[in-house]
Amino acid sequence: MTFSEVQLDQLLKITIEIAKKAGSFIRKERENFDLSAIEHKGFNDLVSYVDKEAEQIIVDGLGELLPDAGFITEEGTKTTRSKSLNWIIDPLDGTTNFIHALPVFSVSIALELNGEVILGVVYEVNRDECFSARKGGGAFCNDKKISVSSAPDLSASLLATGFPYYDFEQIDKYLDALKSLMQKTHGLRRMGSAAVDLAYVACGRFEGYFEYNLNSYDVAGGIILVQEAGGQVTDFGGGDNFLFGREVVASNKNIHSEFLENVKTIWT
């Protein structure tokens, strides 16, 4: 299956509308959110009716667009996966932030074809910023073109990461990586939404981002933003197994080798 640029542009436009619709619902529910609505999928793995209903909004909106497409969804609203074409959805990336009223959370939607993301949207609800990209079309925030930072090296870089919250098996390696990088950069930040981290790399607010123990729906929407904004995305070994490989390093191309080497040295 192939898509023309016109087809991808049309799909992207509709996907943006659906992401904003879900985001509007999330924003409204946050105003009077009751902590008693929290459920636990696992240790520190929180969910609420807001995640589930936002996902239903997205699945309903996307369902008729591409009849052959499967779905990979965080909350399991629809789980019929295709061999070649799939919508990858995180209806509320940053659920813990949402629950605690910390204003960093987003809607992430991507379209994957044969293992490659060809379309992505990350809608940061609180700032009303909609990041979008399709293969070969550049990356945008609220319809304005964006690009990665031009910082030349790690010493001029601000990095993002995510802390492990339930799988602590590699925590010592992770802390070693933090120790190394905090001495070589402007600092590290933990926003609590991988999709936002990647969007912020794409628009130059961060120079780079790395994290492990990720799911495809955490990163799919943001991966193509970085790529289309002129950045580089790899796994920890420098390869291309970052969509389903549960680890990602994303940055501008100037710092990527140096950034990756710091991570790789500690992780391998």
Q: CATH number for the domain including 178? A: 3.40.190.80
Whether 133 and 160 map to the same domain: the answer is no
In a shared domain, residues 53 and 185:
no
pLDDT, mean of each 10-residue run, the chain (268 residues)? 93 98 95 76 64 94 92 88 94 93 97 97 98 98 98 98 78 90 96 97 98 95 98 96 96 97 86
Same-domain check for residues 246 and 168 = yes
Structural domain of 173: 154-267
Residue 207 and residue 161 in one domain: yes
pTM of the model: 0.94
- Tell me, what's the pLDDT at 66? 93
List all residues 6 or more positions away from 99 whose beta carbon is below 8 Å from its beta carbon. 33, 35, 38, 46, 48
CATH of residue 61's domain is 3.30.540.10
Whether residue 125 is found in the same domain as residue 207: no
The confidence score (pLDDT) of residue 45 equals 52
Q: Measuring CA to CA, how many Å separate 109 from each of 15, 189, 253, 264, 268?
A: 8, 24, 25, 29, 32
